[in-house]
Structure 1
Amino acid sequence: MSAPIVRFEHIRFAYQLDPILDDFNWQWPQGQHIAILGGNGAGKTTLAKLITDSLRHNSGEVSYADDIGPANIAHISFDLHRELMERDRRFDDSETREDAFDVGTTVQNIILQGQKANAEFSQLCERLGIGHILEQGIRYISTGESRKTLLARALFAKPAALILDNPFEGLDVKAQAEMHSLLAELVSSPTPLVLLTKDANDIPDAIDTVFNMAHGKILGECSAKDAKQQAKAVHHYAKPLPIADAPVHPSDTALLELRDINVNFRGKQVLSDINWTLMPHQHCCISGPNGAGKSTLLGLLCGENDKAYGQQVFLFGRQRGSGESIWEVKSQFGLLNTSMQMSNLKRTKVIDVVASGLFDSVGLYTDYSEGQRQLLVAWLDALELLPLKDQRFDRLSFGEQRMILLARAMVKSPRILILDEPCIGLDNEQKSKLLGAVDQIAAHGQTRILFVSHRSEEVPDCINQFMDLVPSDKGGYTAHIRER
């Protein structure tokens, strides 16, 4: 019988004094394509990092097959995306350039890693639908485009084995279908694959074995079919939230309005003739393909994008650029997005990350009062995050970080809550909490919701308006508005 690709024997790995894996025994059978199914905090990503030697175990033994080692097992994850983004930001020289813009490391260079482009490279980029972004910087592409870029990088390097960490996160509907097709191809290829996932429905039927994992333990194994049959529907969470009272906006006056908006970025048309109004009774879901300009549009509203100046962007009855400061604009919005999560929040305690939402800063640079501390604790408690309050943000799982950033976005009870693909990285229980919390926020306060999602099952019940970004004849994307 062939030796397993990797074998774990009595492995212990702990963060500080908290064991993540303890007396852990498991093996990846030779030649098998497997899935590891479990919620956030199960230990899936820790296991992947131990396999690739990016984490070192405290005790026990890890062994590999003769022809495979940790260096030639590729692990594609949001952590890799974050590391590449941080490196790119460190070398940004925009302030010293005449054009004040540093594209940074391009998608093409990320994939090639110093190798020369060839026919195989071109075919791979075409297969993944990223040929049109090869000259763009890694910091200037969408979340879904980033996922496909990292997959192309791994496949072009021809690894001995491949670990895909929640590959469907952040992909639009078309890209999800393409990913399912690509996974089916990978499962039929000779390269062994591990799929880490929180959703049994993302597991290809041809996967050899599904390992169920929770709390750092392998609980059992089954087929993909059985895993899907055992998946449980999770009802939305409904715990009371500490939502502050706020003034009521006049019902006949628009909260937000965009008139004939056009955005061009370095010669490329992104948005064309956008016309949209959000009235006080409305909560809007914004959807469109990866790269359609959803985040660009949101940035026009909340002060994150300077393309708003000189255009007809109206916030609460006032046109942008009519004397308000950027901080006055930001004070009206709460924001949760992947860019925020990729920001440098190392060594920042969870409670301080939430507190930074009071001051619209990335990181905490201002002391908060005792009354504000009580508000922070109330939000963490309501979202069942209180045990994490003194932990470092960067040590939490991706899904736990996402929930912390929801608390950060809501702590000041903003007039507009922008949730840009908030369910990325969340397991079913966390999605339930987030969607239930969003519905409560909509029902019991004056905060209005702008919600970006590619999946209809992840849209909260409160949504009563939909903006679909669709290709425009003039280039870029325009908006199609419909009501529910």
Structure 2
Amino acid sequence: MVNYQNPIVTMVDIAYQVHYKTILQDINIEIGKGETVVITGPSGSGKTTLLNITGRKLQPTSGQISFAEEITSKIVSQQDDFLSASGLRVSYYSQRYEKPNEEMVPDVKEYLFKKVTGISQKDQVTILQELEIEYLLDRKILSLSNGERKRVQLAEALLQKPDLLLFDQPFVGLDVHARETLFRLLENQKQAGITLVLVSESGLIPTFSDRLIELVLNEDKPQHLRNGSDALEDKGSNVYPNLETKEKQTYNSIVKMRNVKVTFGGETVLSDINWEVKPGEKWLLQGHNGAGKTTLLSLISADNPQGYVNDLVLFDRKRGSGESIWEIKEKIGFVSPELHLYFLRRRGLYNAAASTQVSSSSMKCLDVVLSGFKDEVGFSTSDSHIEVQIAKKWLHLLDMEHLAAAPFLHASLGEQRIILLARALIKSPDLLILDEPCQGLDSSQIERFTSILNDSCFKNHTTLIYVTHRKEEVPSCVTHFLELEKGRITGSGNFN
């Protein structure tokens, strides 16, 4: 039973500002013991900030917050800490596909149980079984797919059995089955008396939730609490400026794979992959978490060195025939949850042709978009006037122009993802690879982005590979599908 008489968290007139920007204000909340509270709202409304204040990770700028004595809390963030847990100084994105210092990287068992105290063996087994990660225990944590990493994050939190458990977008990156499993597992935690606070989008609110807190954007008060669920005003997603396009090179095939096989640590991740992507085709790449989608994309983006030992042709050139990875990348626009992590951790891709090194912590949102021209992360070379104008047009098109001069690391996670989408689109690439591009975006942003993507792909004759677990996010321009299961192709053909 929820105890509202003795709340475990009380907030009075909470406000939070950073660098003179108001993120939250006029927040008054009480959270009762055993209650399940869901925080929702559009991207940039302060959801993650409010969660971090509730979990004592941030201190409010003003107002009062109090907690019941001796309560323990645990925050499960959108980004995992697997890199820091491995003790590796990763200096570029594709390093995860190589093998240096692999002995330093903990496996899942070591990572999970080094922090666990006071939980029975039975409960440990139950959590592992319910999250269906027993088969991952001997795998290195850096070898996991995005969805597998999310489930390991959740297991780590649940094994610690805190009084207050906080999740930032826990359903993002999970396939349908995994989401249903998590819904059931969280309900079990609620029945066990744990207080839950979740940041989630409006379409993924658990039925067992007790209360919804909605944050909204407002011109007079940037963020405040509101009751109800009025939709955001349509921002005119069908109106587009005329963007500059470039003349496309002609190819017979964008991607051609014959009997491709990839192994890691003696384990086969991909096997017998035969796939051809023709110019102008739009493919949906689908499959459950751990099916091998991310590994397959790493071959196409030239990030995986096992591309050299396979029969792999990219843009009509066989891998290993003398082309550099930068010659491949200049033809590709790319975004993924993992690439986002590298921007946030101030590491990433480094184009050796860059002459000026700039810390990504100082990069403005406009700088991040411009880095897409040269496929850089955390480094910057000089940009032409035309490139700057194109970048500003993309920011305007995606309703992010107000963030052009703002530091990338100060934007909300949803806003950062929109900025990275602009980065992928900016050079009108021959191939656009979008791996879960709509993670963390609100419904209006998703609608706006997919409309722009459909229009851009049509006008520029762009070839597309699109990954999502949610059918409602699939752009209407998609023409074909490829389905993976356990590293093998289980379906391929025209997409209806």
Q: Same fold (TM over 0.5)?
A: yes
Post-superposition offset of 1:365: 2.9
Q: Structure 1, residues 269-294: CA drift from partner, whole Å, max 9, x if none?
A: 11111111112231000011111111
Match of 1:217 in 2: 224
Amino acid corresponding to residue 30 of structure 1 in structure 2: K
Bigger mean CA deviation after superposition, 429-438 or 335-344: 429-438
**Is the counterpart of residue 319 in structure 1 residue 318 in structure 2?**
yes
How far, CA to CA, are the matches of 1:100 and 1:64 in structure 2? 43
1:481 aligns with 492
* Matched AA of 1:383: L
RMSD: 2.5
Decide whether aligned partners of structure 1 residues 261 and 98 sit closer, same or farther in structure 2, where only a CA change above 3 A counts: closer
CA–CA distance in structure 1, aligned partners of residues 87 and 388 of structure 2? 32
Q: Deviations over 1:41-83 (max 9, x none)?
A: 2221111111122111112110112342xxx21111214x1x4
Q: Does 1:152 align with 2:155?
A: yes
Q: 1:478 to 1:106 in 2, by over 3 A?
A: same
Letter in 1 for 2:336: N
For the residues of structure 2 that align with 1:232 and 1:207, how far apart are their CA atoms? 23
Give the aligned partner of residue 246 of structure 2.
Answer: 245
Partner SS state of residue 193, structure 2: coil
Following superposition, the deviation at residue 220 of structure 1 comes to 2.0
Instruction: Work out whether residues 470 and 480 of structure 1, in 8 Å CA contact, stay in contact via their aligned partners in 2.
Output: no
Residue 17 to residue 324, structure 1, CA distance change in 2 (3 Å): same
Give the TM-score taking structure 1 as reference length: 0.89
Distance 1:87 1:355 in 2: 32
TM-score, normalisation: structure 2: 0.87
CA–CA distance in structure 2, aligned partners of residues 220 and 99 of structure 1: 52
Q: Quick one: structure 1 residues 234 and 153, their matched pair in 2 at CA, closer, same or farther if it must change by over 3 Å?
A: farther
User: Which residue does the alignment assign to 1:183?
Assistant: 186
Count of equivalent residues? 464
Conserved 8 A contact 1:243-1:445:
no
Is 2:45 aligned against 1:42? yes
1:455 paired to 2:470 = yes
The answer for unaligned runs of 5 or more in structure 1 is 222-226
1:140 aligns with 2:143: yes
The aligned counterpart of 2:353 is: none
Conserved 8 A contact 1:37-1:213: yes
Partner of 2:482: 467
Shift of 1:371: 2.0
Q: Name the SS of the counterpart of 1:78 in structure 2.
A: coil
Of 205, 208, 211, the match for 2:210: 208
Aligned residue for 1:109?
110
Alignment of 1:116-131 (within 5 A): 118-131=121-134
Cα distance 1:100–1:164, how it changes in 2: closer, same or farther (>3 A)? Answer: closer
Residue 340 of structure 1 aligns with which residue?
A: 339
Matches of 1:134 and 1:100 in 2, distance apart?
Answer: 19
Alpha-carbon distance in 2 for matches of 1:108, 1:59: 42
C-alpha displacement of 1:140:
2.0
Q: How does 1:288-367 map to 2 (within 5 A)?
A: 288-343=287-342, 344=346, 345-367=360-382
SS of alignment partner, residue 174 of structure 1: helix
1:139 to partner: Cα distance:
2.4
- Aligned equivalent of 2:352: none
Residue identity matched to 1:209: R
What is residue 397 of structure 2 aligned with on the other side?
Answer: 382
**Residues 236 and 288 of structure 1, relative CA distance in 2, 3 Å threshold:** farther
Contact 2:34 2:193 in 1 (8 A): yes
Is the CA contact 2:14–2:26 (under 8 Å) kept in the aligned structure 1?
yes
Unaligned runs of at least 5 residues, structure 2? 218-222, 347-359
One-letter identity of the residue aligned with 1:48: L
What residue in structure 2 maps to residue 271 of structure 1?
Answer: 270
The CA distance in 2 between the partners of 1:422 and 1:335, in whole Å, is: 10
Q: Secondary structure at the match of 2:43?
A: coil
1:224 is aligned to none
Stretch of structure 1 that moved more, 133-142 or 350-359? 133-142
Report the CA distance between 1:86 and its aligned residue: 4.6
Contact 2:26–2:224 under 8 Å retained in 1: no
Match of 1:469, SS state, is strand
Contact 2:365 2:404 in 1 (8 A): yes
Q: Identity of paired residues, percent?
A: 32
SS of residue in 2 equivalent to 1:334: strand
The answer on whether the counterparts of 1:246 and 1:446 sit within 8 Å (CA) in structure 2 is no
Q: 2:196 aligns with which of 178, 193, 196?
A: 193
| Contact preservation (8 Å) 1:2, 1:30 | no
Which whole-Å deviations, capped at 9, do the CAs of 1:143-180 have from their partners, x for residues lacking one? 11111111111111110111122111000122122122
The partner residue of 1:402 within 397, 417, 433 is 417
Match of 1:420 in 2: 435
What amino acid maps onto 2:330 in structure 1?
S
